[in-house]
Amino acid sequence: MNKIKNIDELGKIKTEIIKNLSPETPCIIISCGTCGQARGALKIVEAFRDAIKKLETIQELPIQLRITGCHGFCEVEPNIIIEPEGIFYVKLKPEDAEIIIKETIINKKIIDRLLYVDPVTGKKIAYKKDIPFYKYQNQLISGNNSLIDPTKIDDYIAIDGYKGLAKVLTDMSPEDVISEGKKSGLRGRGGAGFPTGLKWEICRASKGETKYVICNADEGDPGAYMDRSLLEGNPHSIIEGIIIGAYAIGAKEGIVYARNEYPLAVKNVGIAIEKAREYGFLGKNIFGTDFSFDIKIVKGAGAFVCGEETALIASIEGKRGEPQQRPPFPAQKGLWGKPTNINNVETWANVPVIINKGADLYSKIGIGRSKGTKIFSLVGKINNTGLVEVPMGIPLREIVYDIGGGIPKGKKFKAVQTGGPSGGCIPAELLDLPVDYDKLTEVGSIMGSGGMIVMDENTCMVDIAKYFLNFLRDESCGKCLSCREGLDRMYEILNDITEGHGTMEQLNLLEELAPVVKEASMCGLGQTASNPVLSTLRYFRDEYEAHIKSKKCPAGVCKALIEYSIDPEKCTGCTACVKACPQEAIIGEKKKPHKINQNECIKCGACKDICKFDAIKVE
């Protein structure tokens, strides 16, 4: 492969690639991100390959297979899309492959049993574009995942990949790029929401010959994986973004800092970097200009705190991943003491879109001071688990009910936790809140990197706060006294409350301590670590008080405060619970109401899960 020298050559290559694609040929797109692979997507790929080989002996089959990254709808993995019709099959098994080829591709019939069933209406939906989960989204960034095989650079070039880079290098000065970035209103997608264009400008203005750009791919929030999905599914968009950013800042070297726990992401980015070098998008004199730039991958050991800019830099330098006091900011004195610009994966993926679409068009998406789209990972007690990309400012209700399909088993919505472990819980009263940076901050939460954990009525808010604090006290670097000791003491108090020996004095102490941790700690982790406690105290104080005053857990979660019992009216004596109980704590004769021996009961809930008559009460 000869290196591409200018924008015309890129255009020629693109037309050649498109000529070889025949849009009429059926194409089976298999979602093979880490989430799909965990559900057996690789076996499905094998099955399709075998089926095609087998059937090819009978008749000619012009079928394409495209193995892509995650399509976002993780609830129904492994799923496939059959182009050109856009038929969407869910929860496949390897044995379905042959049937699909015979029925759907050769006989053009839709197989009813493999279709997606809408949990709200109960209807079956055949086409991807009609599924509410996709219909209400605006997949500006993540939508390309289903169009490209991440290991093939040609697929990316076919959808106008690297066109933005060519435009930037041939027609625009670095200042133009920065002003375009500022005009677009793009803000950092990693957590703090700092305006990206301004960040670039500060770094460009910093004195120094050597400058660095870093892609922060150290995604560590429990239940959040949008960065992983982008790295796995569309690594070239990130690389293109980084090159454009490097040109704007004047950097010659870039680093992708990814966690080692993302092996597929690291692999795909590695392949993408190799390919980009081969085509001349990385290396010396890109597109025949004076601009030279290259990227390398640094693997982190997976510490949550290393997502913080200064800790990330320390980690790359081979030091302990500990944050440093700012100023000096990384833009002034970053990696190896040189000006450094760090942006999150999703931010970088937005850059080519802005250049291609133009800042004016881009800034029309979104609301107020939050522009563009944001990918959220919608998880927890929700029907449609997955990655959703929505324009900023969309009401929370639309995400939870229209896209997410509501709460399973018809339970009541209680709260949604946004922004990862250091975000806050937003209660049902605020469901109509537009989701943007400023509104989320107002209600005591944060945008964070985009985690969204939905909780139903059976979730205890004290227990949730305790869970996140436990995560944070483990993941704090431990340098600041306020964060290390403060979080441990907060956890201690919450533990006392959930165990039933909390006092009102302790609750007051918790309210006094939480803001101190927030204010006195050095880095972003400590400064947001009390959010789970502060927001649950703000909206669910009654639950805390119920734990302390009446020693009851209203949601029936905290084991020390609940008791399982059998309703003699409802119990039919079927003995199902007797068999399920690991403690043999349930006694009673057949066809007569049973009883639970409280001394033996370990409150595991096995009896409640198995009872068909709803006879097990939790109080």
CB of residue 510 to other proteins, shortest distance in Å:
10
Residue 519 interacts with other proteins (CB under 8 A): yes or no: yes
Among 36, 486, 502, 532, binds other proteins (CB under 8 A): 486
Among 68, 79, 268, 521, binds other proteins (CB under 8 A): 521
Neighbours of 58 (CB within 10 A): 9
CA 619 to CA 617: how far, in whole Å?
6
Residue 318 interacts with other proteins (CB under 8 A): yes or no: no
CB of residue 484 to other proteins, shortest distance in Å:
7
- Taking Cα atoms as reference points, which of 267, 511, 540 lies closest to residue 424? 540
Measure the CA angle with vertex 242, ends 314 and 344; round to 5°: 55
Residue 463 token pair:
């227990």
Q: Per-residue x/- mask for other proteins, residues 276 to 315, rule CB under 8 A? A: ---------------------------x-x----------
Q: Which residues of 462-485 are buried (b: 16+ CB within 10 A; e: fewer)?
A: bbbbbbbbbbbbebbbebbebbbe
Among 16, 505, 563, 584, binds other proteins (CB under 8 A): 505
CB of residue 310 to other proteins, shortest distance in Å:
12
Paired strand residues for 363: none
Query: Which residues, in sequence order, are CB contacts of 412 under 8 Å at separation 6+?
Result: 428, 456, 457
Q: Which is nearer to other proteins, 145 or 332 (CB)?
A: 332
Residues 436-465 that bind other proteins (CB under 8 A): none
Total binding residues toward other proteins, as defined by CB under 8 A: 36
329 CA to centre of own chain: 27
Among 482, 530, 535, 536, binds other proteins (CB under 8 A): 482
- Taking Cα atoms as reference points, which of 447, 362, 435 lies closest to residue 182? 362
Q: Which stretch binds other proteins (CB under 8 A): 54-62, 116-124, 285-293, 512-520?
A: 512-520
CB of residue 224 to other proteins, shortest distance in Å:
20
Q: Which stretch binds other proteins (CB under 8 A): 87-95, 97-105, 269-277, 505-513?
A: 505-513
Residues 390-419 that bind other proteins (CB under 8 A): none
CB of residue 332 to other proteins, shortest distance in Å:
11
Q: Which is nearer to other proteins, 364 or 369 (CB)?
A: 369
Q: Which is nearer to other proteins, 511 or 545 (CB)?
A: 511
Q: Which is nearer to other proteins, 310 or 344 (CB)?
A: 310
Query: Which residues, in sequence order, are CB contacts of 579 under 8 Å at separation 6+?
Result: none
Asked if 455 contacts 416 with a C-beta cutoff of 8 angstroms, the reply is yes
For the chain, the maximum distance between any two Cα atoms, rounded to a whole number of angstroms, is 87
Residue 484 interacts with other proteins (CB under 8 A): yes or no: yes
Residue 499 interacts with other proteins (CB under 8 A): yes or no: no
Q: Is 385 left (phi over 0), alpha (psi -120 to 50) or beta?
A: beta
- Taking Cα atoms as reference points, which of 526, 541, 444, 513 lies closest to residue 484? 526
Q: Which stretch binds other proteins (CB under 8 A): 74-82, 185-193, 432-440, 511-519?
A: 511-519
Interface residues with other proteins (CB under 8 A) are 303, 305, 320-321, 324-325, 327-328, 472-482, 484-489, 492, 505-506, 509, 512-513, 516, 519-522
